[in-house]
Amino acid sequence: MLGKLIKYEMKAGERFFVPLYAVMIVMAALIGLTSRYQDSVKSMSYVFGIAMLLYGILIVAAIVLTIYLLVERFYHNLLGNEGYLMFTLPVSTASHICAKVLTALIWMIIGVGMVMLSSLVMGFLSISWQDLQRIVEGISEMMANFHFDGDLLLQSMEILMLVALGSVSSIVRIYAAISIGHFWTDHKVLGAVLSFIGFTILEAFVMISFAMTDISMDIWLVYFYDLLWIAVYGLITWYVLDRHLNLE
Instruction: Say if residues 28 and 122 touch (Cβ distance below 8 Å).
Output: yes
What is the C-alpha separation between 92 and 242, in angstroms, rounded?
9
> Model pTM greater than 0.75?
yes
Query: Are residues 155 and 134 part of one domain?
Result: no
pLDDT of residue 171: 92
Q: Which residues contact 104 (CB under 8 A, 6 or more apart)?
A: 66, 69, 70, 171
Residue 75 lies in a domain: yes
Of 103, 124, 146, which residue constitutes the final position of a domain?
146
> Between 215 and 30, whose confidence is greater?
30
What is the C-alpha separation between 234 and 173, in angstroms, rounded?
8
Across 27-42, average pLDDT: 76
Across 14-42, average pLDDT: 82
SS3 state of residue 218: coil
- Across 9-18, 25-34, 171-180, the highest mean pLDDT is recorded for 171-180
Of 146, 165, 193, which residue constitutes the final position of a domain?
146
Number of domains, the chain: 2
What is the C-alpha separation between 80 and 247, in angstroms, rounded?
6
Structural domain boundaries enclosing 230: 149-248
What is the C-alpha separation between 199 and 237, in angstroms, rounded?
13
Confidence of residue 91 (pLDDT cuts 50, 70, 90): confident
What is the C-alpha separation between 32 and 111, in angstroms, rounded?
20
Residue 6 lies in a domain: no
Of 146, 172, 207, which residue constitutes the final position of a domain?
146
Closest CA to 232 of 180, 159, 158: 180
Query: Are residues 218 and 165 part of one domain?
Result: yes
pLDDT of residue 200: 92
In this predicted structure, the answer to whether residue 36 has a pLDDT above a threshold of 80 is no
Query: Are residues 123 and 98 part of one domain?
Result: yes
pLDDT of residue 156: 79
Q: Which residues contact 32 (CB under 8 A, 6 or more apart)?
A: 121, 122, 123, 124, 125, 126
Query: Are residues 39 and 131 part of one domain?
Result: yes
Residue 100 backbone class (left: φ over 0; alpha: ψ -120 to 50; beta: rest) = alpha
